[in-house]
Structure 1
Amino acid sequence: MEVLMSNWSSVQSIPENYVLPPHKRTGKVTANSTGKEIPVIDFEKADCHDRDETIRQILKACQEIGLFQVVNHGVSKELMDDTMKLFKEFFSLPAEYKANFISKARDKGCILYTSSFVNHDDPNKKEIRYWRDCLVNKCNPLEDHLPFWPQTPTGYHEVVGTYSVEMRKFLMKVLDLISEGLGIEAGYFEGDLTREQLLSVNHHIPCPDPSVTLGHPEHRDPNLITAIHQCDVPGLQFFKDGQWIGVEPLPHAFVIIPGVQFRVISNGKFTSPKHRVVTHATEHRTTLGTFFIPSDVSTIEPAKSLVSPLSPLLYRSYVYRDFFNEWMKQVAEDDAVLDLYKIQD
């Protein structure tokens, strides 16, 4: 059976296969280094007279930083708390039960794993693991995937199912506001572009030495859009102006990160920041990420309304499956991924 970090009773030192090569380490950067310049947008104002201002704030954040936080988003605080509590309970369950969900098959409705990658900089191709367990639930259409979800803890289907439905409503609202701001036709993101919805739950146990490992590698999300529900323990960071900046965990807020795919659809108007997760020396950390992903055969291209003689086509069309496979090879750790499908003069 694969060993899950959440099964470990105590950790006094970091196992060798969790120690990153020196150039991948965080060094002195800690989870507590947070930035205050990250926009916090009140979505309640979008439903009244401040809709235009809300849209302006969203577009500015997507163009200048690449992410923002949302408060008063319509997903109830009680549901957020219940869902977070339930997943924390799941990771504390006996190893024998959790083993039922360990799988490497991408088509499973629920998958549990400890993350790893093959370090190609190492001549021996040593396997390096990141400091996390990850539980992935497929969520759309919900009725197709519920039979594969855990039955324990009690209420898993009801709570996580409701959370998934509410998150879909919320993210579609985000996409509607972005569409309106960019001048993209209504309904552009319905159907194939948001066909797949994943709920990815990362669980990080306390780490004896956060300076030599990571909870999640540097990367850019290849999907359409991501919403991250943080717990109260910091760890999420993004890269800007040559430094890593922490995203402060705000109570009952969501961090919104448009993916590389959105950079293409916006015809280069949106940026796509690298982000990562650092570990914490004394606290457990659990975060919930909701992802919108297109069908494998969806064609991703700049929205036609954003292409004109005055706004030249920057990116060629591609099938999402092919882009994802190319992204996986590079792990989106450098700027090259942004130029994979860029038109060259």
Structure 2
Amino acid sequence: MENMIHSTPSHTFLPDCFVFPPDQVPPATSAVVSLPIIDMSRSRDEVINHGISEQTMQDMVAVGEEFFRLPAGDKLDLYSEDINKATRLFSGTTYETGGERYWRDCLRFAYDFPVGNSTKDWPDKPQRLREVVENFTLLTRGLAMELLRLLCEGMGLPLDYFEGELSGGYVTLDINQYPPCPNPSVTLGLPPHCDKDLMAILLPGQVPGLEVAYKGDWIKVEPVPYAFVINFGQQLEVVTNGMLKSIEHRVMTNSALARTSVAMFIAPTEDCLIGPAEEFLSKENPPCYRALRFRDFKRIYNVVKLGSSVNLRTNLRNIQKEI
């Protein structure tokens, strides 16, 4: 628990373990981008009119912030550096590789959909945390599945293509806390990466920090009130044989304001074999990715640098020796 960043009221200097060489923290361009907005009231990137109430979104952020304000003793039993533990509190994550540390605290939940048995391991403080998190998780998962059905309709896949094993793994929900940082220019909240799952639904909060890679630059994302940011995961890129790209993104810190974000991830089951769908293959368009079971993909995700779309395409052609 001594590693928790948010537990210290103020930080006057940045420990060396959080400092990166300048080439690993290139500044973003001065441009601020508004992501394309999807208005789901008309179809029923950023999604508005999605059917999840503003109150539900406010409650989710509020209960997360309330948790991080709890006394250290109320959080002690949750703290763990075991990356295989489903529900845990951790800090300065090493991102499962290397020794770098990032300016982020995270409370992570796992939800066994549709059974929900995993909630017994969830913290019981604050009092309404379990109810708020479970409600938010179920609603955002429903939104993700609706978006996947719309993608299927647009791409010519069966509408239920992503039902079952492709989306049947544990739903993971992260409440991220990025405390004020004494020197944001030399550190990161999260490193450049692509999400390894199928899809992520992000409630980014109103304090800027999210940046996306675009044409060799980093672009700051302008928050839109009560809008979700949708991140396509690498499994969606594999299934579509590269038609839909998993966008590389990172999180920067802020010297004056704390930032709270909430991310929900849809993942395949561990045994799910994932490769390009036949609908995207032809003689002129051969498979760009090798089929892998999701557990094997996760195991080698960092070992062979699958964290970006370019490395994903390069390495999944010749990865059998790593399994």
Global fold match (TM > 0.5)? yes
> Counterpart of 2:16?
16
1:119 offset after TM fit, Å?
11
Matched, 1:71 2:44: no
Q: Is the 8 A contact 1:109 1:149 kept in 2?
A: no
For each residue in 1:283-341, what CA deviation from the matched residue of structure 2 results, as whole angstroms up to 9, or x when unmatched?
Answer: 00000001011111110111122223354322221111112222122261572233221
Q: Which amino acid aligns with 2:104?
A: R
The two structures have a TM-score, normalised by structure 2, of 0.92
Q: For 1:202, which of 159, 169, 176 is the aligned residue?
A: 176
Q: For 1:133, which of 99, 105, 108 is the aligned residue?
A: 105
Matched, 1:285 2:285: no
- Alignment CA distance shift 1:206-1:33 (3 Å): farther
1:33 offset after TM fit, Å?
5.0
> Counterpart of 1:34?
32
1:106 offset after TM fit, Å?
4.3
Q: Is the 8 A contact 1:119 1:128 kept in 2?
A: no
1:81 & 1:140 partners in 2: Cα distance? 24
For each residue in 1:83-116, what CA deviation from the matched residue of structure 2 results, as whole angstroms up to 9, or x when unmatched?
Answer: 1100001011111211211123445341110133
- Alignment CA distance shift 1:237-1:341 (3 Å): same
- Alignment CA distance shift 1:246-1:118 (3 Å): closer
For each residue in 1:210-242, what CA deviation from the matched residue of structure 2 results, as whole angstroms up to 9, or x when unmatched?
Answer: 100000001111111111101110000010111
1:227 is paired with a residue of what secondary structure?
A: strand
Matched, 1:93 2:93: no
Matched, 1:338 2:305: no
> Counterpart of 1:313?
287
Matched, 1:84 2:84: no
1:303 & 1:119 partners in 2: Cα distance? 30
> Counterpart of 2:240?
266
Q: What is the percent sequence identity of the aligned residues?
A: 34
For each residue in 1:127-185, what CA deviation from the matched residue of structure 2 results, as whole angstroms up to 9, or x when unmatched?
Answer: 32100001110022352111111111121111111111101110000000001111111
1:162 is paired with a residue of what secondary structure?
A: helix
1:116 is paired with a residue of what secondary structure?
A: coil
Structure 2 stretches lacking a partner, 5+ long? none
2:12 is paired with a residue of what secondary structure?
A: coil
2:96 & 2:83 partners in 1: Cα distance? 22
2:96 & 2:162 partners in 1: Cα distance? 36
Q: Is the 8 A contact 1:314 1:343 kept in 2?
A: no
> Counterpart of 1:223?
197
Q: Which amino acid aligns with 2:313?
A: L
Q: Which amino acid aligns with 1:104?
A: E
RMSD of the alignment, in Å? 2.1
Q: Is the 8 A contact 1:151 1:157 kept in 2?
A: yes
1:17 is paired with a residue of what secondary structure?
A: helix
2:102 is paired with a residue of what secondary structure?
A: strand
For each residue in 1:49-78, what CA deviation from the matched residue of structure 2 results, as whole angstroms up to 9, or x when unmatched?
Answer: xxxxxxxxxxxxxxxxxxx11000111111
Tell which deviates more after alignment, 311-320 or 331-340: 331-340
> Counterpart of 1:191?
164
Structure 1 stretches lacking a partner, 5+ long? 48-67
Q: Which amino acid aligns with 1:340?
A: N
Q: For 2:79, which of 102, 108, 130 is the aligned residue?
A: 102
1:44 & 1:115 partners in 2: Cα distance? 39
Q: Is the 8 A contact 1:130 1:213 kept in 2?
A: yes
May I ask how many residue pairs the two structures share in their alignment?
316
Q: Which amino acid aligns with 2:32?
A: T
- Alignment CA distance shift 1:194-1:245 (3 Å): same
Q: Is the 8 A contact 2:83 2:96 kept in 1?
A: no
